Amino acid sequence: MSESLQSTSESETMPNATVLIVDDEKPITDAYAQWLEDDYTVRTAYSGSEALEKLDESVDVVLLDRRMPDLSGEILELGFDAYLEKPVSEATELHETVETLLRRTTYDSQIQRFLSLANKKAALETKKNAEELEANEEYAELTEELATLRQQLSDTATGMDDEDLRAEFYDPDNPGE
Amino acid sequence: MGATPRFRQPMDIIAPLSEQLTRWNGNGNKTLVSVQTLTILLEYVDFDTAFRYLHILTHRVQAADAIGFYHMDPDIHDEETVNTLKTLFDAVVVVSDDGQEWSVTETYGDRTITSDHVQSHDTDVSPPESEGGLINSIRDSLTGVFPGSGEPEFTVASSETGESDATSGNSTTSGDDGATPSSSVEDFPEDAMLTDEDRIRELLTQYGGRMKQADVTEETDWSKSTVSRKLSKMEDKGLITRVQVGRGNLVFLSGYEPETAKSPFEQEQETD
């Protein structure tokens, strides 16, 4: 058991990822923190208000106990795409959960960036003719970055299973039919 | 029941497709996936979702070592939309209205090749081997996918197979391999992919937004009464409009009706 934990030296998906663990049951929070602290930067919070204090843009994943008594609506509105529905009893399981969430986060930001670059490139193509594009430095850079990003996206998506991808398309305003 | 047409979650379509493609992977045939039109997708979901959907779809097609063709009519969509979508694909094929001329342009490379060059006997302009392979693969596929290739102009984007994959890929549609590539197409659980209504919508789109009801019957191999029943349902939902012309009906996809017909879409918004 502990062996498999040791074999995971660092997050494969995102180096230096920061995880915020929120649970009002202190022993659980602390156990999770211990399981994760070798591989991630870990923050803990024992209440909803504390969670809000410790939450900033450097946090990549939040492990949140949704049944916490003082959980404010504010934190729920942040739109996390996964909660720990049941207590996790093994370090490896928790690692997998965190990695899954990191992959989703990574995919999310990569595809957003990809789409925004694709939009820019398309706008240039619409405005300029082939010769102008040829001479346009920004266009060359866009194309190059898109090609790189496309490969990265493909790598990220390879690690995502159907459930992960389903979450990608989850629309809180329209949760299923 | 919402006012918008029923849209299944993207993964309801991608997951079974992906599973089937993976099953076929390595069976000695090159699997070819043809998405007959991107128009309907773009019409019913926001662009952001459509873009992600297509990314995952192309990714899964690639992961299963298949080749994908995604078709759209550039006259329906603005240039910027087409250009943005291009970034998801390896190459863009533009086919002329009569289907006689076409060009293939790499999205992430400099190579462009046109039908002129391939037909030319001048060795100087003959494409390098690898390009010829890609081109031939695409052309073979096109011929197979569109039996009546005199159809309107299509922009065809080949999905992200690595170029080398595409070149080695003997298209499943050629069918002279001794194997039975065509059975792959028939074997596919089409129900998992397309509802009958989706199919009718696609047909209508292929026909430019309108077609004779009799043609629907012919294209689908459904009985006249089945077609009539399905169309009537779709008309109730505001997806299509039917207009009696002579002894038959003309079917219009919502948004393609002649000026005089009331927009069924608006009607639907009010009533549903």
Q: Where do the domains of chain B lie, and which CATH numbers do they carry?
A: 10-190 (no CATH), 194-271 (1.10.10.10)
Question: In this structure, are A7 and A94 located in the same domain?
Answer: yes
> What is the DSSP-derived secondary structure letter of residue B241?
E
Find the CB nearest A118 among B9, B53, B87: B87
Are the C-beta atoms of residues A49 and A70 closer than 8 Å to each other?
yes
Chain A residue set in contact with B, beta carbons under 8 Å: 111, 114-115, 117-119, 121-123, 125-126, 143, 146-147, 150, 153-154, 157-158, 162, 165-166, 168-169, 176-177
Answer yes or no: do A67 and A109 share one domain: no
| CA closest to B17 among chain A residues | A162
Report how far residue B70's alpha carbon sits from residue B79's, in angstroms, rounded to the nearest whole number.
Answer: 16
Instruction: Give the per-residue pLDDT at A143.
Output: 93
Cβ contact A39:A92 at 8 Å: no
B55 touching chain A per CB within 8 A: yes
Provide mean pLDDT across the span A96-104: 86
Does A177 reside within a domain? no
**Closest alpha carbon to B161 in B66, B21, B26, B92:** B66
Residue finishing a domain among A58, A73, A99: A99
| Tens-place pLDDT, residues B10-37 | 888 888 889 889 888 888 888 888 888 8
Domain shared by A59 and A107, yes or no: no
pLDDT at B8 (0 to 100): 66
Task: State whether A161 and A89 are in the same domain.
Answer: no
Mean pLDDT, all residues of chain A: 81
Q: Is the pLDDT confidence value at B248 over 70?
A: yes
B118 confidence band (pLDDT: 50, 70, 90)? low
Q: In this structure, which amino acid lies at residue B181?
A: P
What domain count does chain A have?
A: 2
Q: What is the mean pLDDT of chain B?
A: 70
Which residue in the set B15, B56, B108 is minimally distant from A147, CB to CB? Answer: B108
- Nearest 10 degrees: Cα torsion A136, A137, A141, A142: -30
Confidence class of residue B162 from pLDDT cuts 50, 70 and 90? very low
Pairing relation of β-strands B248-253 and B210-212?
antiparallel
Domain-located, residue A175: no
The Cβ of residue A107 has, within 10 Å, a number of other Cβ atoms equal to: 24
The pLDDT value recorded for residue B141 is 57
Q: In what order do the strands lie in the sheet with B67-72?
A: B32-35, B67-72, B155-158, B91-95, B102-106, B112-114
Give a yes or no: residue A142 inside a domain. Answer: yes
Q: Backbone dihedral region of B178: left (phi > 0), alpha (psi from -120 to 50 degrees) or beta? A: left
Residue B34 and residue B53: Cα distance in Å, rounded? Answer: 15
Percent share of chain A, pLDDT over 90: 37
Over 60: is that where the pLDDT of B159 sits? no
How far from B136 is each of B55, B56, B122, B127, B170, CA to CA, in Å?
25, 26, 18, 11, 9
B 65-84 residues with CB below 8 A of A? Answer: 79-84
- Number of cross-chain residue pairs from A and B with Cβ atoms under 8 Å apart: 73
The pLDDT of residue B168 is: 26
Task: Examine residue A62 and state whether it is found in any structural domain, yes or no.
Answer: yes
**Do residues A58 and A107 both lie within one domain?**
no
Residue range of the domain that includes A89: 2-99
Regarding whether A121 and A54 lie in a shared domain, the answer is: no
Instruction: Tell me: pLDDT of B177 over 80.
Output: no
Among partner residues A122, A143, A165, which is closest to B108 by beta-carbon distance?
Answer: A143
pLDDT for position A86 = 61
Q: Report, as an integer, the average pLDDT of B146-165.
A: 37
* Final residue belonging to a domain, choices A74, A99, A124: A99
Residues A34, A94 within the same domain: yes
Find out whether B171 and B30 touch, Cβ atoms under 8 Å. Answer: yes
Q: Which residues of B touch A166 (CB under 8 A)?
A: 9, 11
Joined together, the tokens standing for residue B53 give 């959907």
* Closest C-alpha among A20, A25, A22, A26 to residue A58: A20
Q: Which residue has the higher pLDDT, B220 or B257?
A: B220
Q: With respect to residue A174, please indicate whether it lies within any of the assigned structural domains.
A: no
Q: How far apart (Å, rounded) are the C-alpha atoms in residues B111 and B130?
A: 11
Token pair belonging to B139: 């052309």
Q: Are residues A66 and A128 in the same domain?
A: no
The answer to whether residues A89 and A119 belong to one domain is no
Which amino acid makes up residue A75? I
Q: What pLDDT is attached to residue A56?
A: 86
**Token output for A158:** 């390879």
Give every strand in the sheet of B248-253, ordered side by side: B210-212, B248-253, B240-245
Residue A8 lies in a domain: yes
Contact residues, chain A, for B79 at CB < 8 Å: 122, 125-126
Q: Assess whether pLDDT exceeds 90 at residue B75.
A: no
Indicate the residue among A99, A130, A153 that finishes a domain: A99
Confirm if A41 and A102 have CB atoms less than 8 A apart. no
Residues of B in contact with A169 (CB under 8 A): 9-11, 49, 52-53
What pLDDT, on the 0 to 100 scale, is given for residue B122? 40
Supply the pLDDT for residue A63.
86
Task: Kindly report which listed range (A38-52, B61-75, B176-190) carries the lowest average pLDDT score.
Answer: B176-190
B83 contact residues in A (CB cutoff 8 A):
121-122, 125-126
Chain A: give the shortest CA distance to residue B122, in Å: 26
Taking a C-beta distance cutoff of 8 angstroms, is the pair B169, B161 a contact?
yes
Spatial distance between the Cα atoms of B172 and B89, rounded to a whole number of angstroms: 20
Pairing of strands B210-212, B112-114: unpaired
Are A85 and A150 in the same domain? no
Any idea what the CATH number is for the domain that residue A28 is in? 3.40.50.2300
> Taking the mean position of all CA atoms in its chain, how far away is CA B119?
26
Give yes or no: residues A106 and A75 share one domain.
no
* Residue B46 at interface with chain A, using a CB cutoff of 8 Å: no
| Whether residue A74 sits in one domain with residue A61 | yes
Q: CB within 8 A of B89, min separation 6: which ones?
A: B58, B70, B107, B157, B158, B159, B160
Q: Nearest CA of chain B to the CA of A147: how many Å? A: 7
pLDDT interval class at B256 (50, 70, 90): confident
- The Cα of B6 is separated from the nearest Cα of chain A by a number of Å equal to 8
B-chain residues within 8 Å CB-CB of A117?
A: 87
Chain A within 8 Å of B9 (Cβ-Cβ)? Answer: yes
Separation CA A47–CA A72 (nearest Å): 9
pLDDT of residue A33: 94
Instruction: For chain A, give the longest Cα–Cα distance.
Output: 65
Q: Is A84 part of any domain?
A: yes
Contact B87 A146 (CB under 8 A): yes
Higher pLDDT among residues A83 and B212, named by residue = B212
Share of chain B above pLDDT 70, in %: 62
Helix ranges, chain B (H): 10-24, 39-44, 47-63, 79-86, 115-119, 129-145, 163-168, 181-187, 190-193, 196-206, 213-220, 224-236, 264-271
Percentage, residues of chain B above pLDDT 90 = 9
Distance CA B254, CA B10 (A): 22
pLDDT in tens, A114-171: 999 999 999 999 999 989 998 999 999 999 999 999 999 999 999 888 888 887 776 6
- Is B55–A122 a contact, with Cβ atoms under 8 angstroms apart? no
Residues of A in contact with B2 (CB under 8 A): 177
The answer to whether residue B131 scores a pLDDT higher than 50 is no
Residue A126 lies in a domain: yes
pLDDT digits (tens, 9 = 90+) for B210-241: 888 988 988 888 888 889 888 988 888 888 88
Nearest Cα of chain A lies from the Cα of B108 at a distance, in angstroms, of 7
At B264 the pLDDT is: 42
A127 → chain B, closest CA residue: B80
**Contact list, B10 vs chain A (CB under 8 Å):** 165, 169
Measured between CA atoms, the residue of chain A closest to residue B5 is A177
What per-residue confidence (pLDDT) applies to A84? Answer: 61
Residue A122: which of B48, B52, B84 has the nearest Cβ? B84
Give residue B126's pLDDT.
Answer: 37
**Contact status of B16 with chain A (Cβ, < 8 Å):** no
What is the per-residue pLDDT for A80? 55
